[in-house]
Amino acid sequence: GAGVSQSPSNKVTEKGKDVELRCDPISGHTALYWYRQSLGQGLEFLIYFQGNSAPDKSGLPSDRFSAERTGGSVSTLTIQRTQQEDSAVYLCASSHLRGQGVNEKLFFGSGTQLSVL
C-alpha cells in the first residue's frame, strides 16, 4: 500500500481482556515505531524496531505490553489484561533509516482507537 496501515481502526474491549493491534508499514521501511496518544498528553513513545529487533523498548508502560515484528514488516502490539487507563489512540509509524542513523521523517498510520470499558 501507499501508506502505513493500522487495524482495527477502533477496538472496544472489556477490562481484563487481551487485545492485539496490527501495523503494516510502508514497504521497504526498516524502522517501525509505536506511540500512544492520550487526550492532553501528546505522543508517548512505546517501542522502536529496526528490522525485527527492538533496540529501544523503554517506553512500554508495563509488562502487560509487548510487541513483535516479523519479516521486517508487519508488527503487532499486544496488551494483556487491559485496564481502563490503557484507553488511547495507538499510532504506528515507519521510516527509512538514513545512512547516518537519524530518522527525521516518520510516516504515521491513522491509529487504533482503543476503548477499555
Partner 1 sequence: QKEVEQDPGPLSVPEGAIVSLNCTYSNSAFQYFMWYRQYSRKGPELLMYTYSSGNKEDGRFTAQVDKSSKYISLFIRDSQPSDSATYLCAMMNTGFQKLVFGTGTRLLVSP
For partner 1, the binding residues (CB under 8 A) are: 4, 31, 33, 35, 40-43, 45, 48, 50, 55-56, 59, 91, 93, 101-111
Least Å distance, CB 43 to partner 1, is 4
Nearest CB to partner 1, comparing residues 43 and 74: 43
Quote the cell numbers at residue 98: 538514513
CA distance 70 to 73: 6
Task: Decide: helix, strand or coil at residue 95.
Answer: strand
Quote the cell numbers at residue 49: 524496531
Nearest CB to partner 1, comparing residues 11 and 107: 107
